[in-house]
């Protein structure tokens, strides 16, 4: 909310708490973090969902299909999707090794996340970062 201080210049009213959600870039992780984001936002707590552009779009498509995002107040922050090769799935492997390049590319989100956290920090008395354990290296 924009307010003026006693000298007439613009100042911003700080929120008590702002929550930053950082999902792992894999569909099931994106979806669960977005569900939690919706729940938190129902308490009038500003929620910021931050991930690569590709994965934010993927998460929003699922939720828009169920119309849950229309009620949530979530701010989406899209970081450039780092380039990576995506090999075809190996039907002989139980582990989805074709996803490894995507996960490795997410390492490049550390700098954009750092910039974002520095930008958002002055807006609140407390910044709570909720991240997937697999994204600890990014946060």
pLDDT tens-place string over residues 15-70:
799 999 999 888 788 888 998 998 898 888 999 999 988 888 888 887 765 555 55
- Chain-centroid distance of CA 128 in Å reads 12
Lowest mean pLDDT among 6-20, 44-58, 101-115: 6-20
Name which CATH class applies to 14-135: alpha beta
Phi, psi of 108 (to 5 degrees): -75, -5
Among 29, 48, 55, 131, the one annotated catalytic = 29
| pLDDT for 70 | 56
- What pLDDT band is residue 2 in, cutting at 50, 70 and 90? very low
- What pLDDT band is residue 76 in, cutting at 50, 70 and 90? very high
Residue 9 has pLDDT above 50, yes or no: no
3-state SS class at 20:
strand
Residue 120 has pLDDT above 50, yes or no: yes
Active site residue 29: yes
Q: What is the DSSP letter of 83?
A: P
Q: What is the DSSP letter of 25?
A: S
| pLDDT for 62 | 72
Among 55, 77, 131, 132, the one annotated catalytic = 132
> For residue 8, how many other CB atoms are within 10 A of its CB?
6
The partner residues of 4 in beta bridges, in order of sequence, read 10
Contact (CB, 8 A) for 92 and 118: no
| pLDDT for 68 | 59
> For residue 126, how many other CB atoms are within 10 A of its CB?
11
The ranges assigned to domains in the chain are 14-135
Mean pLDDT, the chain, rounded, equals 80
- What pLDDT band is residue 5 in, cutting at 50, 70 and 90? very low
């Amino acid at each position: 909310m924009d307010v003026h201080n006693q000298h007439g210049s613009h100042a911003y009213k700080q929120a008590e708490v702002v929550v930053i959600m950082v999902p792992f870039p894999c569909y099931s992780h994106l979806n669960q973090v977005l569900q939690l984001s919706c729940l938190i936002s129902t308490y009038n707590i500003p929620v910021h969902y931050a991930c690569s552009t590709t994965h934010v779009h993927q998460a929003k498509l699922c939720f828009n299909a169920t119309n849950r995002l229309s009620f949530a107040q979530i701010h989406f922050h899209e970081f450039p999707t780092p380039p990576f090769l995506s090999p075809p799935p190996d039907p002989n492997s139980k582990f989805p090794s074709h996803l490894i390049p995507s996960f490795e590319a997410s390492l490049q989100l550390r700098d954009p996340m750092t910039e974002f956290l520095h930008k958002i920090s002055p807006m609140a008395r407390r910044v709570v970062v909720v991240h997937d354990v697999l994204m600890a290296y990014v946060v």
